[in-house]
């Protein structure tokens, strides 16, 4: 085998390998990217029901309800960014760090009645830390500035920055 | 007192490291024996100083010296002694010190085991290791000083996250770091080879044991981390494709490729430039993995705002190490001579395929990990990619890898015929066909079926390989046994490591069929899942040292026979206002029964409890496979041929001079 032929083989193999990798990546990207949305973004333009999104915000104080459907425990709670609220339904055990008035990220999709069916609820953080997506959205909407200490109690938001907060439909 | 001593020792180590970089480099360039022979001594001095510094930090942790900021923030009087010690590396500052210490130990190991290296090569390798160490010790001293004092000193510390008080997590960082840092040695060899302008078979032979050792540690570290998240977090999952996890998987993939391409350099003197590049890439991935992802810089743009000095220092250091080595590569690599010829169907050819596939998987994981932070940095869009993406993009690349893994080791070097090899594999092929039938019948989903079939193929061909080498059943058994005794351990090691991949892949494929159920039941009720009857027999409250626990008793029966009694619990830590879940796992080696207890609901007269029950088929195999892989690596390392034999370099016929 000549050096040139060998090199040709190598190039073909490399192109095939990397091409397959790029193709797989692109096709997987097109169907599996999960966008992060806040309740006000959902309220403005709800994503289609078959699309998985990450919904982030604060759990509205006093909104956590539990029901039993047969033997399945169903939790429902409202997630707000201070401008809108979305009701989240979640079957299962809420994580250890889930608290009212603290930040949460719910992974799931919208239901036809405007609610959100979560397949996973993430609250991996302690009370002084919030997921950066939630923090960014809160800062953008002028609800919270980390310079002035920990995030406010979710229940007090709408009253706190009344001047720029649009009245939310379901926020407490 | 001891924190100041530790601080001083760290500064001393940094000074040693700078000397270890500069003096031997000049010595190697000027062929000055005196300067070159200083390198081992300086490496030893550096590691002694680092060890002293580390001991001082452990001493401060054990003696509850809360005037040290690091101890104050991460420890408390009531913390058990074991976690006081292991907590030293459970935080940013301490983990960087541990990182530097392991790098120092690698340097000392090169100095100790590298006596038969040519003087100039050894001096340059140690100089490169010293340079990397100097950078990180300087980083530790200037921006992440673990010995920083607080005044006035409070009486008690702030304690550690109870989630982290776990033996699995206590030993996970040192093992994982040894894997990461171990790849610094192949990197140093690659840089030294680029400076010298010479890569030959002897170089491959020196690099290979280091790559294998680092790979074995990294394999163990990843498995330990995955196992920890399986039994501690209580989600029933084992791998979350989280950036921190991917940061360890990426160097593992490229390190696996490096380990294989170094074989080609050693045996055939081909793929030299590629191997050098892989050595540089693997260490660069290790570095960026530990420092970019763990420090949260990529996860959060705000990490820069919080501590700009730290972020800029890290980026500068990474830029210097990675950019510098790639620039050196671009400048010097063309001077490396091309190696031996081989046909596409040959052991080398298959090793090239292995490298292409591993690097493709590595590129996919890298893209999936880096794309979300870049999107958020550049376009302000917050997106994430998770398990569906990585499954869809990596498994189709892993399956051809399994296919080639099977017969690669059986092909002869240089030029091979496919047919004689395939003819020896008919039993393995039969087993694979059977496995395919069983998998199609018992698993759902195309990828799990292919994955399981590939896994069986890999295990069967690894066994066939050994059977062929000892001529099993073709000659009397006693003679076969004799042959096995004199078979090089590296052959067993390779077959074992390949079989380990198969075992892990079988576990992964079976885990795609895991079942779970979340129920809310009163005491006494029975639920059925996966053919088992799970009865909540009782719940009681038990006090612990610094928590109160809700302990459930779940009796699991199969066809009326009691299989096991599980005691999952939920602990509430009053001090931290935190709860942790203690999973109860019963394993029989082929499947795990996994029980979690959640909150109590209902009134006190009729309480109900949320239970989460999992049936995880072949779950233990995932980690067993990783252990087999690491054991295979260790077995190869113990082969005499790895240590003696060829490490003497043949006189160079036409080396390009470095100067």
From B160, B179, B203, the end of a domain falls on B160
Check pLDDT > 80 for residue B235. Answer: no
Q: How far apart are CA B177 and CA B290, in angstroms?
A: 9
Q: Which residues of chain B have a CB within 8 Å of the CB of A71?
A: 519-521, 527
Total count of domains within chain A: 2
- The CATH number assigned to the domain holding B597 equals 2.60.98
Same structural domain for residues B75 and B132?
A: yes
Domain membership of residue B445 (yes or no) is yes
Mean pLDDT, residues B513-532 taken together: 86
A170/chain B closest Cα distance in angstroms: 25
For residue B236, is it within any domain?
yes
CA nearest A56 in B: which residue? B382
Q: In angstroms, rounded to a whole number, what is the distance separating the alpha carbons of residues A62 and B615?
A: 35
* Domain coverage including residue A141: 35-160
Same domain, B272 and B291: yes
pLDDT at B401 over 90: yes
* Same domain? A18 vs A46: no
Residues near A8 by beta carbon (within 8 Å), at least 6 away in sequence? none
Q: Is residue B380, in this structure, part of any structural domain at all?
A: yes
The pLDDT value given to residue A1: 54
Of B23-32, B52-61, B72-81, B492-501, which gets the smallest average pLDDT? B72-81
Q: At what angle do helices B387-407 and B446-469 cross, to 10 degrees?
A: 30
- DSSP secondary-structure letter at B88? G
Q: What is the mean pLDDT of residues B633-641?
A: 85
pLDDT of residue B301: 43
Check B352 against A10: CB less than 8 A apart. Answer: yes
Q: Do residues B501 and B530 both lie within one domain?
A: no
Q: Rank A124-128, B303-307, B327-331 by mean pLDDT and report only the highest.
A: B327-331
Average pLDDT of chain A is: 74
ipTM associated with this complex: 0.72
Round to whole Å and give the CA distance between B484 and B471. 9
Domain count, chain B: 4
From chain B, the residues in CB contact with A91 under 8 A are: 518
Residue A169 inside a domain? The answer is: no
pLDDT above 50: residue A160: no
**B609 to chain A, closest Cα gap in Å:** 10
pLDDT digits (tens, 9 = 90+) for A83-106: 788 889 888 777 777 777 777 888
- pLDDT (tens digit per residue) in A42-52: 888 888 888 88
- Among residues B513, B535, B564, the one where a domain terminates is B513
Of B571 and B14, the structure prediction assigns the larger pLDDT to B14
Is the CB of A13 less than 8 angstroms away from the CB of B352? yes
Q: Which of B364, B527, B612 minimises the CB distance to A93?
A: B612
Chain B partners of A93 at a C-beta cutoff of 8 Å?
Answer: 518, 596, 598-599, 610, 612
Q: Do the domain assignments include residue A132? A: yes
Check whether residue A73 and residue A11 sit in a common domain.
no
Q: How far apart are CA B584 and CA B590, in angstroms?
A: 16
Residue A50's Cβ-side half-sphere holds a number of Cα atoms within 13 Å equal to 1
Please count the residue pairs, one from chain A and one from chain B, whose beta carbons lie less than 8 angstroms apart: 124
| In a shared domain, residues B423 and B524 | no
The answer to whether residues B530 and B387 belong to one domain is no
Residue A171 maps to a domain: no
Question: What CA–CA distances, in Å, run from B65 to B5, B53, B149, B171?
Answer: 14, 15, 10, 23
**Interchain CB contact of A50 with B (< 8 Å):** no
CB B388 to CB A28 under 8 A? Answer: yes
Interface probe for B, chosen from A11, A71, A103, A138 (most Cβ of B below 10 Å), is: A71
Containing structural domain, residue B438: 399-513
Domain check: are B235 and B340 in the same one? Answer: yes
Residues B127 and B37 in one domain: yes
One domain, residues A138 and A106: yes
Does A97 contact chain B (CB < 8 Å)? yes
Asked whether the predicted pLDDT for residue B629 surpasses 90, the reply is yes
Same domain, B225 and B324: yes
pLDDT at position A63 over 80: yes
CB contact under 8 A, A20 and B520: no
Do A136 and A90 belong together in one domain? Answer: yes
* Residue B598 pLDDT > 70: yes
User: With an 8 Å Cβ cutoff, is A67 touching chain B?
Assistant: no
Question: Nearest Cα to A122, choosing from A156, A88, A168?
Answer: A88
A115 with A46, same domain: the answer is yes
Residues B438 and B383 in one domain: no
pLDDT of residue A72: 79
**H helix or E strand, kind and range, residue B527:** strand B526-529
Q: Is A100 on the interface with B (CB under 8 A)?
A: no
Those residues whose C-beta lies under 8 Å from the C-beta of residue B142, and which sit 6 or more positions away, are B309, B313
Q: How confident is the model at residue B523 (pLDDT cuts 50, 70, 90)?
A: confident
Q: Report if residue A165 sits inside a domain.
A: no
Judge whether residue A155 has pLDDT over 70: no
Report the residue from A24, A68, A92 with minimal CB separation from B612: A92
Same domain, B409 and B392: no
Over range B452-464, report the average pLDDT. 93
Looking at the domain assignment, is residue B453 inside a domain?
A: yes
Report the Cα B5 to chain-centroid distance in Å.
33
Nearest to B341 among A6, A20, A29 (CB): A6
Q: pTM to 2 decimals?
A: 0.88
Same structural domain, A60 and A5: no
Q: What is the CATH number of the domain that holds A103?
A: 2.40.50.140
Percentage above 90 pLDDT, chain A? 0
Chosen from B236, B302, B393 to mutate, greatest number of chain A CBs within 10 A: B393
Verify that B1 and B102 share a domain, yes or no.
yes
Does residue B311 lie in a domain region? yes
Residues of B in contact with A20 (CB under 8 A): 360, 396-397
Mean pLDDT: which of A131-140, B137-146, B304-313, B412-421 is highest?
B137-146
Rounded Cα–Cα distance for residues B163 and B180 (Å): 24
Chain B CB contacts of A18 below 8 Å: 356, 360, 363
**Domain identity same for B488 and B537:** no
Higher pLDDT, B651 or B21: B21
* Number of residues that this document lists for chain A: 172
B410-445 confidence digits (pLDDT tens) = 888 887 777 888 888 888 889 999 999 998 898 888
Given CB atoms, is A96 within the 8 Å cutoff of chain B? yes
Which of left, alpha, beta for B106 (phi over 0: left; psi -120 to 50: alpha)? alpha
Report the pLDDT value the prediction gives residue A107, as an integer from 0 to 100.
87
Cα–Cα distance for residue pair A39/A83, rounded to 1 Å: 8
- The reply to whether A19 and A81 lie within a common domain is no
Residue B159, Ramachandran bin (φ over 0: left; ψ between -120 and 50: alpha; else beta) = left
Q: Are residues A26 and A76 in the same domain?
A: no
């Amino acid at each position: 085998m000549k050096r040139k032929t060998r090199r040709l083989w190598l190039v073909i193999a490399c192109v095939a390998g990397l091409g397959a990798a790029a193709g797989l990546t692109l096709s997987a990207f097109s169907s599996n990217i999960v966008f992060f949305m806040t309740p006000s973004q959902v309220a403005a333009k709800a994503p289609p029901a078959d699309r998985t999104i990450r919904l982030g915000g604060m759990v509205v104080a006093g909104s956590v309800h539990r029901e039993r459907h047969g033997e399945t425990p169903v939790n429902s709670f409202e997630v707000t960014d201070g401008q809108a609220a979305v009701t989240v339904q979640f079957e299962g055990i809420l994580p250890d760090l889930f608290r009212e008035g603290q930040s949460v990220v719910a992974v799931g999709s919208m239901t036809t009645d405007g609610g959100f069916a979560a397949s996973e609820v993430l609250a991996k953080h302690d009370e002084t830390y919030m997921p950066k997506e939630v923090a960014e959205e809160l800062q953008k909407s002028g609800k919270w500035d980390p310079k002035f200490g920990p995030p406010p109690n979710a229940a007090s938001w709408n009253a706190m920055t009344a001047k720029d907060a649009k009245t939310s439909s379901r926020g407490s | 007192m001891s924190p100041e001593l530790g601080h001083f020792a760290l500064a001393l180590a940094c000074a040693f490291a700078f000397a270890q970089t500069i003096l031997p480099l000049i010595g190697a360039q000027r062929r000055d024996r005196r300067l070159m022979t200083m390198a081992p001594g300086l490496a030893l001095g550096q590691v002694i100083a680092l060890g002293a510094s580390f001991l001082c930090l452990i001493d401060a942790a054990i003696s509850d010296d809360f005037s040290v900021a690091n101890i104050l923030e991460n420890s408390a009087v009531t913390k058990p002694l074991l976690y006081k010690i292991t907590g030293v590396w459970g935080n940013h500052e301490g983990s960087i010190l541990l990182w530097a210490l392991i790098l120092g130990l690698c340097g000392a190991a090169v100095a100790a085991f590298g006596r038969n290296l040519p003087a100039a090569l050894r001096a340059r390798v140690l100089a490169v290791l010293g340079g990397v160490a100097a950078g990180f010790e300087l980083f530790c001293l200037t921006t992440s000083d673990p010995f920083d004092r607080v005044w006035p000193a409070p009486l008690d510390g702030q304690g550690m996250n109870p989630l982290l008080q776990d033996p699995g997590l206590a030993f996970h960082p040192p093992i994982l770091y040894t894997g990461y840092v171990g790849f610094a040695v192949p990197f140093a060899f690659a840089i030294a080879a680029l400076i010298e302008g010479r890569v030959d078979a002897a170089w491959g032979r020196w690099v290979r044991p280091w790559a294998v050792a680092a790979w074995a540690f990294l394999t163990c570290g990843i498995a330990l981390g995955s196992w920890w998240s399986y039994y501690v977090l209580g989600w029933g999952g084992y791998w979350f494709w989280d950036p921190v996890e991917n940061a360890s998987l990426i160097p593992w993939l490229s390190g696996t490729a490096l380990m294989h391409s170094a074989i080609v350099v050693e045996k055939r003197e081909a793929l030299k430039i590629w191997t050098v590049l892989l050595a540089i890439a693997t260490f660069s991935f290790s570095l960026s993995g530990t420092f970019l992802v763990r420090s949260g810089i990529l996860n959060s743009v705000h990490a820069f705002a919080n501590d700009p000095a730290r972020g800029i220092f890290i980026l500068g250091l990474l830029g210097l190490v990675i950019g510098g080595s790639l620039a050196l590569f671009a400048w010097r690599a063309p001077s490396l001579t091309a190696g031996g010829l081989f046909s596409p169907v040959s052991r080398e050819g298959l090793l090239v395929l292995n490298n292409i596939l591993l690097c493709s998987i590595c590129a996919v994981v890298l893209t999936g990990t880096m794309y979300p932070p870049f999107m958020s940095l550049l376009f302000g869009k917050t997106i994430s990619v998770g398990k569906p993406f990585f499954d869809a993009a990596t498994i189709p690349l892993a399956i051809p890898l399994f296919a080639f893994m099977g017969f690669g080791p059986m092909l002869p070097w240089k030029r091979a015929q496919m047919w004689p090899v395939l003819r020896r594999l008919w039993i393995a092929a039969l087993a694979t066909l059977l496995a395919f039938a069983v998998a199609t019948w018992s698993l759902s989903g195309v990828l799990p079926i292919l994955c399981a079939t590939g896994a069986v193929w890999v295990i069967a061909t690894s066994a066939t390989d050994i059977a062929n080498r000892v001529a099993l059943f073709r000659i009397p058994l006693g003679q076969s046994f004799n042959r096995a005794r004199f078979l090089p351990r590296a052959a067993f090691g390779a077959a074992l490591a390949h079989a380990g991949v198969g075992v892990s892949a079988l576990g992964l494929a079976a885990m795609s069929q895991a079942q779970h159920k979340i129920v809310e039941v009163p005491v006494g009720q029975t639920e059925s899942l996966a053919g088992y009857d799970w009865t909540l027999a009782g719940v009681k409250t038990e006090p612990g040292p610094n928590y109160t626990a809700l302990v459930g008793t779940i009796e699991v029966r199969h066809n009326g026979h009691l299989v096991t009694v599980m005691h999952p619990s939920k602990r509430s830590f009053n001090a931290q206002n935190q709860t942790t879940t203690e999973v109860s796992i019963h394993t029989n080696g082929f499947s795990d029964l996994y029980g979690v207890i959640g909150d109590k609901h209902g009134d006190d007269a009729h309480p109900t409890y949320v239970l989460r029950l999992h049936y995880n088929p072949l779950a233990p195999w995932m980690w067993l496979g990783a252990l087999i892989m690491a054991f295979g690596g260790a077995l190869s390392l113990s082969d005499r041929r790895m240590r003696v034999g060829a490490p003497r370099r043949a006189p160079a016929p036409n080396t390009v001079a470095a100067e």
